Amino acid sequence: MSLHADPEGRHVVRVGLGLLVPGTLLLLAGRPELILYAVFGSFTGMYGRTEPTPERQRHQFHGAGMLVTGVALGVAFSELRVPAVLVVLGVTAYAVVGSVLADWLRLQPGGPFFGIFAFGATATVGPGLVSPYGAVLICAGTATWCLALGLARVFNAGPTEPAAPPARGLPAGTSVHALRYAVAIAAAGLAGLALGIEHANWAMASAAVPLAVVVVGERLDLGAVVHRARHRVTGTLAGLVVSAAVLLPGPRPEVLAVVVMVLLFPTELFLSRHYGLALGFFTPLIMIMTELAVPADPSGMLLARGVDTLIGVVAGVAAAAVIGGRPDRHQERTETWAA
């Protein structure tokens, strides 16, 4: 099947190229350790998936804003050497704002996961790796490249029907869902710090994952939340095995950077088909880019990732169970955006 006739294939190639080009430029510049900032910018391409070009561009533009802002906040916290507990509180506050904005803008994929992940991960990178402006520039430049790829004709043979104007206003239940994120992420981050586990940002990101399946304005499906949490755990464990196979032999940074770029292709290929399988590729991608930016003992980092994942999904499921909520009785406002 040709690329032109396969919308899913076009999307996967588009996302992969979004990282391949900036990552290659970093390799040529001799700075493979900075690929972490390019990775977060490349997540821009994951928004909008197979939607018509105007709607996809809208999702990607807003998604890029959330990602670049997350990186900017993270590198600012790193530069100022903000204490870890304040990083947890900062990520929690950003998750609340991101949750409301994602619901208001009807982002696809929904929720603040990518933004808070960018914030927490970059906040844990030491201030000497690159200047804050350089880090934000790499992320913003990659995001801009992804937006440009979304306009390329070869990637725009998707649905021809015009998309319905997006609904305007906050969906019913937005504030309750934002509260779930706040409770889950704060609990996961603080628990990780209390237990002395490195990379508490992984626990916070994992706490957001089960909540991403909640459909705001509808009755909460706790079974779906638990199902997503189970996929998060099993997929992460499988990904840790792959991570160990790559990291423990101690390959050169240039090789690790190439592996990161390659792993984004299967991650996005399986993301809409089987979340757990996609995590088998996404987890080593994250582990390797973290090792490049913040070199550490791989075995200790693998253990921390596993424990942080368990802490996070427990916090996410618990927040959904405790803050069940009900859809508001009033109907969601359905005004359309002004032309």
Using CB atoms within 10 Å of the CB of residue 1, give its burial: 0 to 12 exposed, 13 to 18 middle, 19+ buried.
Answer: exposed
Structure tokens at 309: 């994942």
**Residues found in the chain:** 339
pTM above 0.85, yes or no: yes
pLDDT digits (tens, 9 = 90+) for 15-37: 999 999 999 999 999 999 999 99
Across the range 119-140, mean pLDDT stands at: 94
pLDDT digits (tens, 9 = 90+) for 218-271: 788 889 999 999 999 999 999 999 999 999 998 999 999 999 999 999 999 888
Across the range 58-63, mean pLDDT stands at: 93
Phi, psi of 248 (to 5 degrees): -65, -35
The whole-number pLDDT of residue 152 equals: 77
